Homo-oligomer: A and B are copies of this chain.
Amino acid sequence: MTACVDRMIRPPKQTRRRCSVAPRRQERAFMFFEAHLQLLQAAADANRTRSAWTGYTSVTPPDSRQAEAFVGAYDGATLNLSAPTQSCVTADEVSPYTGKALNVTYSAPSAEEALEGAAQAAAALRDAGVEQRVGVCLEALHRIHHRGQEFAAITSHTTGQSLNMACSGSGTNALDRGLEAVAMAWAAMNRVPGQVTWRQTFGKSDVTLRKRFRPRPLGTALVVACASFPAWNAYPAILANLATGNPVLVKPHPRSVLATAVAVSIIRDVLAEAGLPSDAVQLVVDTVDEPIAARLATDPATRIVDFTGSQAFGTWLERNVENALVFTETAGVNTVILDSVRDLSATMRTLAGGLSLFSGQMCTTPQNIYIPDAGVLTDDGPVSRDDVVAALCAAIDDLAGAPRRAAAVCGALQSEATRQALEALADRADADGTLVRRPAAYAHPEYPQARAVTPLLVRVDPRRGDQLPAGEQFGPVAFVIDCADRDSAVEHATDSVRRHGAISSYLYCTDDAAVDAIADAYADAGASLSANLVSSMPMQYAAAYSDYHVTGLNPAGNATLTDESFVAGRFRMVQDRRQVEG
Contacts and interface: CB of A to CB of B under 8 A. Distances in A.
Contacts of A200: 52, 537, 543
Contact of A576 (B188, B214, B522): B522
A452 B388 CA distance: 82
Nearest to A523: B574
A551 interface: yes
A82 to B, nearest CB: 25
B193 A50 contact: yes
Contact of A196 (B49, B530, B575): B49
A198 B531 contact: no
Given A50-B213, A199-B52, A575-B528, A205 B536 contact: yes
B531 A576 contact: yes
A519 B195 CA distance: 14
A41 interface: no
Interface string A178-213: 000000000010011100111110111101000111
Nearest to A550: B572
Contact of A523 (B49, B553, B576): B576
A536 B205 CA distance: 7
Nearest to A315: B322
A532 interface: yes
| Size category of the binding interface on chain A | 35 or more
Contact of A531 (B207, B319, B569, B579): B579
A211 B265 CA distance: 38
Nearest to A200: B52
Given A205-B535, A319-B322, A564-B564, A211 B546 contact: yes
Nearest to A534: B579
Contacts of A526: 216, 572, 574
A99 B563 CA distance: 52
B50 A192 contact: yes
Given A51-B198, A579-B531, A579-B535, A565 B572 contact: yes
A543 B578 contact: no
A531 B534 CA distance: 63
A177 to B, nearest CB: 16
Given A50-B193, A519-B212, A577-B530, A202 B563 contact: no
Contacts of A377: none
A573 interface: yes
A323 to B, nearest CB: 8
A515 interface: yes
Contacts of A533: 579
A368 B323 CA distance: 28
The 6 lowest CB-CB distance pairs between A and B, nearest first, are A531-B578, A568-B568, A519-B576, A565-B568, A202-B536, A319-B322
18 contacts: A126-B524, A198-B546, A202-B537, A207-B536, A207-B537, A211-B547, A216-B551, A318-B322, A318-B323, A527-B574, A528-B575, A528-B577, A530-B578, A532-B579, A534-B579, A551-B573, A553-B572, A553-B574
Interface of A: 48-52, 123, 126, 188, 191-193, 196-200, 202-205, 207, 211-214, 216, 218, 318-320, 322-323, 512, 515, 519, 522-524, 526-537, 543, 546-548, 551-553, 560, 563-565, 568-569, 572-579
